[in-house]
Chain A
Amino acid sequence: MFSDLFAFYTLLKRDLTLAYRHRAELANPLLFFVIVISLFPLGISPEAKILTIIAPGIIWVAALLAAMLSLDSLFRSDFEDGTLEQLALTSHSLPLLVLAKVLAHWLLTGLPLLLLAPLLGVLLFLPQSAMLTLLITLALGTPILSLIGAIGVALTVGLRRGGVLLSLLVLPLYIPVLIFAANAVNVAADGLPVTGQLYFLGALLSLSLTLSPLATAAALRISLS
Chain B
Amino acid sequence: MWAFLQKLSSPKYFYTLAETLIPWLGWSCLLFMLAGLYYGLIVAPPDYQQGDSYRIMFIHVPAAWMSMLVYMVMALAGGISLIWRMKLAEVIAASSAPLGASFTVLALVTGALWGKPMWGTWWVWDARLTSELILLFLYLGVIALNSAIDDKRTASRASAVLALVGVVNIPIIHYSVTWWNTLHQGATVTKLGAPSIHLSMLIPLLLMAIAFKLYYGLTLLMQARCEILERERNTHWVLELVDNPR
Contact = CB atoms under 8 A, between A and B. Distances in A.
Interface centre among A168, A204, A211, by most B CB within 10 Å?
A168
B134 interface: yes
A172 B141 contact: yes
Nearest to B160: A222
Contacts, number: 66
Interface size bracket, A side: 20 to 34
Contacts of B158: 155, 219, 222-223
B5 to A, nearest CB: 24
Contact of A156 (B137, B148, B176): B148
B172 A219 contact: no
B121 interface: no
Interface stretch (A9-17, A47-55, A176-184): A176-184
B134 A165 contact: no
Given A155-B158, A161-B148, A165-B148, A176 B165 contact: no
Interface residues of B, number: 26
Nearest to A223: B158
Nearest to A183: B180
Given A183-B180, A211-B168, A176 B161 contact: no
A184 B16 CA distance: 57
A100 to B, nearest CB: 21
Contact of A172 (B82, B137, B168): B137
A31 to B, nearest CB: 28
A151 interface: yes
A176 B162 contact: no
Given A169-B144, A179-B180, A215-B161, 4 more contacts: A155-B158, A156-B148, A165-B144, A172-B134
